[in-house]
């Protein structure tokens, strides 16, 4: 199965509140609060680290959860947020810079 | 409970200022009749100072950031400020009259991911709108800006402040908003000027017209529910706070002064002298605001409206006591439900300081010679 790379979109607002991340899409105003596990995935979504590596290296290390269950949960999370354009998903590494330069 | 309400509750429990309103300038190209600001520049924060402030706000946990003025686009660095705010991942709302927004500005706001642009429109008729803004041609320019912003796919909201001079045009402004495909909000609140001058309160719409607003299902939804008598307040109401001012929200002026709210001119500190978080956590004024529960309000705690009134502590403060009633909100509660507020009843009872009508008997005509009274 191809690797999945995830990056945070630039079209979002986000802030940590009491250990959990609040994320809002500036495109469709959908608003999510992420629990502790989801927040770890969110923070690790640098576009360069494969999702499987985030699950193995962060989730399974920091939380008492088996790899298969963690991977299923991570896949669902990524699917949901990518549907709202909050996470970008690709089978190759992603580069996402913000704020964009003004077009001339 | 909605997710946003949960977030606010969590922010309240953690003491996090989740919303900040930052005025970047008081300068303006309009001279709106009801405006509570003066429009001179008394030493605005520089671009670097605002950038530093935004870093501090992000660190403090601020998520919702309203950038307003004055007219924000009178600052040449305004888009730079927005870019910095978005780089820090704030949810940014911009309040503007739109007069200086053309395609380039609209495109950049879209590119930067601004959540919403709120634009003031007072009437669909130039002669009425411009009698308020005092800027000839402003309505056409504002509407053009709305079209530019909409063409970019931005979320735009028309804010319609209601006054005596434009009340009759309210349905047409709502229709204009529908035509333009933007949200519509109306606000019947006129606040005293920040220097305490109350002369502009004469612009407030009279009670009979406010009652029409409250009985209009297009504006308030379910009229019966909106105008229902207030339920008896429970303990949670009496232990509650009047609003988010100073609890999860605050206002910062272009000069760095921190206040509980834009409508609550109680100075709490200045970010040029102290760090924002220091002010937020340690200002005695903010601590005092936070200490007030509904049960501590001398008049309002005994009012039947205490649980449903829109009592603004800032307006109460401008009337002389942040724990006192806000007369404008008392009137709104009364006009909405037909039930007088405790403040209204008290003032009614207190009005005759002496006898209402006094008759002085002519000497010798009445045996007692003491004043007669008719109450």
Of residues B10 and B346, more confidence is placed in B10
pLDDT in the model for residue A63: 92
Q: Which of B187, B183, B169 is nearest to B131 (CA)?
A: B169
In this prediction the ipTM stands at 0.89
Helix (H) and strand (E) counts in chain B: 16, 11
- Provide the 3-class DSSP secondary structure of residue B159: strand
Contact B14 A14 (CB under 8 A): no
Longest dimension (CA), chain A: 51
Nearest-Cα residue of chain A relative to residue B108 = A102
Q: With beta carbons under 8 A apart, name residues in chain B contacting A33.
A: 3, 6-7
Q: Where are the beta strands (DSSP E) in A1-104?
A: 5-8, 12-17, 20-25, 31-34, 46-50, 87-90
Contact A24 B91 (CB under 8 A): yes
Q: Does residue B365 carry a pLDDT above 60?
A: no
Q: Measured in whole angstroms, how far is the alpha carbon of residue B183 from the centre of its chain? A: 18
pLDDT in the model for residue B122: 98
Q: Give exposure, A48-75, as e/b (b: 16+ Cβ within 10 Å).
A: ebbbbebbeebbbeeeeeeeeebbebbe
User: Which burial class, exposed, middle or buried, applies to A103 when counting CB atoms under 10 A from its CB (0-12, 13-18, 19+)?
Assistant: exposed
pLDDT in the model for residue B253: 97
Shortest alpha-carbon distance between residue B333 and chain A (Å):
32
pLDDT band at residue B372 under the 50/70/90 scheme: very low
Contact B4 A29 (CB under 8 A): no
Per residue in B147-180, pLDDT tens? 999 999 999 999 999 999 999 999 999 999 999 9
Q: Give exposure, B315-327, as e/b (b: 16+ Cβ within 10 Å).
A: bbbbbeebbbbbb
pLDDT in the model for residue B353: 63
A47, A33 Cβ separation under 8 angstroms? no
pLDDT band at residue A104 under the 50/70/90 scheme: low
Q: Does residue B369 carry a pLDDT above 60?
A: no
Pick from A15, A32, A100: which is nearest to B63 by CB?
A15
Per residue in B279-322, pLDDT tens? 999 999 999 999 999 999 999 999 999 999 999 999 999 999 99
pTM of the entire structure?
Answer: 0.90
Contact B18 A12 (CB under 8 A): no
Residue from B58, B85, B86, B92 whose CB has the most chain A CBs within 10 Å, to mutate: B86
Contact B7 A14 (CB under 8 A): no
Distances B117 to A59, B98, B152, B159 between C-alpha atoms, Å: 39, 9, 12, 10
Phi, psi of B200 (to 5 degrees): -70, -10
Q: With beta carbons under 8 A apart, name residues in chain B contacting A45.
A: none
Pick from B3, B91, B107: which is nearest to A33 by CB?
B3
Pick from B11, B83, B155: which is nearest to A17 by CB?
B11
Nearest-Cα residue of chain B relative to residue A104 = B104
Contact B111 A99 (CB under 8 A): yes
Q: Does residue A75 carry a pLDDT above 90?
A: yes
B224, B336 Cβ separation under 8 angstroms? no
Nearest-Cα residue of chain A relative to residue B6 = A33
Measured CA to CA, the distance from residue B344 to residue B198 in angstroms comes to 20
Q: With beta carbons under 8 A apart, name residues in chain A contacting B90.
A: 13, 15
CB proximity B3 to A under 8 Å: yes
pLDDT in the model for residue B370: 44
Phi, psi of B13 (to 5 degrees): -65, -35
Nearest-Cα residue of chain A relative to residue B112 = A99
Q: Residue B282: CA atoms inside 13 Å, Cβ hemisphere, count?
A: 8
pLDDT band at residue B373 under the 50/70/90 scheme: very low
In this structure, what DSSP letter does residue B215 have? T
Q: With beta carbons under 8 A apart, name residues in chain A contacting B117.
A: none
Measured CA to CA, the distance from residue B328 to residue B321 in angstroms comes to 14
Q: With beta carbons under 8 A apart, name residues in chain B contacting A26.
A: 91, 113-115
Per residue in B114-139, pLDDT tens? 999 999 999 999 999 999 999 999 99
Residues 146 through 175 of chain B touching chain A, CB cutoff 8 Å: 155
């Amino acid at each position: 199965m191809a690797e999945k790379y995830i990056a945070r979109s630039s079209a979002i607002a986000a802030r940590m509140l009491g250990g959990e991340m609040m994320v809002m899409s500036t495109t469709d105003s959908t608003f999510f609060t992420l629990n502790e596990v989801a927040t770890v995935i969110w923070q690790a979504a640098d576009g360069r680290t494969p999702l499987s590596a985030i699950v193995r290296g962060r989730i399974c290390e920091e939380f008492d959860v088996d790899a298969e269950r963690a991977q299923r949960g991570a896949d669902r999370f990524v699917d949901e947020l990518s549907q709202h354009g909050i996470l970008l998903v690709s089978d190759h590494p992603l580069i996402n810079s913000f704020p964009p330069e003004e077009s001339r | 409970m909605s997710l946003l309400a949960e977030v606010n509750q969590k922010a309240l429990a953690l003491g996090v200022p989740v919303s900040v309103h930052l005025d970047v300038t008081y300068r303006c190209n309009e001279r709106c009749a009801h405006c509570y600001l003066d429009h001179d520049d008394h030493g605005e924060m520089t671009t670097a100072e605002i950038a530093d402030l935004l870093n501090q706000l992000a660190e403090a946990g601020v998520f919702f950031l309203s950038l307003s003025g004055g007219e924000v686009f009178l600052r040449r660095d305004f888009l730079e400020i927005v870019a910095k705010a978005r780089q820090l991942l704030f949810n940014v709302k911009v309040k503007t009259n739109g007069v200086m927004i053309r395609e380039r500005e609209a495109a950049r706001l879209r590119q930067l991911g601004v959540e919403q642009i709120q634009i003031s429109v007072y009437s669909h008729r130039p002669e009425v709108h411009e009698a308020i803004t005092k800027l000839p041609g402003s309505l056409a320019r504002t509407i053009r800006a709305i079209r530019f912003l909409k063409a970019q796919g931005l979320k735009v909201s028309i804010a319609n402040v209601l006054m005596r001079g434009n009340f009759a045009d309210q349905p047409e402004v709502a229709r204009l908003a529908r035509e333009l495909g933007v949200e519509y909000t109306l606000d019947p609140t006129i606040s005293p000027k920040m220097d305490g001058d109350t002369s502009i309160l004469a612009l407030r719409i009279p009670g009979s017209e406010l009652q029409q607003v409250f009985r209009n299902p297009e504006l308030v939804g379910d009229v019966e529910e909106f105008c229902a008598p207030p339920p008896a307040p429970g303990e949670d109401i009496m232990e509650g706070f009047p609003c988010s001012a100073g609890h999860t929200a605050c206002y910062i002026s272009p000069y760095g002064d921190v206040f509980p709210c834009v409508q609550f001119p109680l100075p709490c500190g200045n970010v040029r002298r102290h760090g924002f978080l220091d002010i937020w956590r340690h200002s005695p004024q903010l601590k005092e605001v936070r200490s007030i529960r509904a049960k501590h309000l001398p008049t309002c705690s005994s009012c039947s409206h205490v649980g449903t009134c829109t009592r603004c502590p800032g307006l109460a403060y401008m009337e002389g006591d942040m724990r006192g009633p806000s007369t404008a909100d008392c009137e709104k509660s009364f006009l909405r439900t037909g039930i007088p507020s405790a403040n209204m009843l008290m003032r009614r009872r207190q009005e005759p300081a002496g006898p209402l009508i006094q008759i002085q008997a002519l000497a010798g005509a009445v045996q007692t010679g003491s004043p007669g009274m008719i109450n």
